[in-house]
Amino acid sequence: MIVVDKDQMQKIDQYAINELKIPSICLVERAALSVIKNIDLNVRKTFALVVGIGNNGADGLALARNLLARDYYVEVYIIGNIEKAKEDFILNYQAVKNLTDKIYLIDTILDLEVMEKNISKVSTIIEGIFGTGLDRTITGTYAYVIAMLNRSMKYIISIDIPSGVDSTTGEAWGEVVDSDLIVSMQLMKKGVYDRSIYKNKCVVEDIGIPQKAIDHVLNETYP
d(CA 178, CA 147): 9
pLDDT at 76: 98
**DSSP β-bridge partners for residue 75:** 48
d(CA 158, CA 24): 20
CB-count exposure of residue 122 (10 Å: 0-12, 13-18, 19+): buried
Structural domain boundaries, residue 94: 3-221
The domain that holds 167 is classified in CATH as 3.40.50.10260
The amino acid at 150: N
Mean of the per-residue pLDDT values for the chain?
A: 95
- Where residue 49 falls among pLDDT bands split at 50, 70, 90? very high
- Where residue 135 falls among pLDDT bands split at 50, 70, 90? confident
Query: Could you read off the pLDDT of 62-120 as tens digits, one per residue?
Result: 999 999 999 999 999 999 999 999 999 999 999 999 999 999 999 999 999 999 999 99
Q: What percent of the chain has pLDDT over 70?
A: 99
Query: Could you read off the pLDDT of 168-213 as tens digits, one per residue?
Result: 999 999 999 999 999 999 999 999 999 999 999 999 999 999 999 9
DSSP for 34-85, please give it. Answer: HHHHTS-TTT--EEEEEE-SSHHHHHHHHHHHHHHHTT-EEEEEEES-GGG-
pLDDT at 222: 59
pLDDT at 221: 65
pLDDT at 211: 96
Residue 91 CA, chain-centre distance (Å), reads 16
Number of compact structural domains in the chain = 1
pLDDT at 133: 87
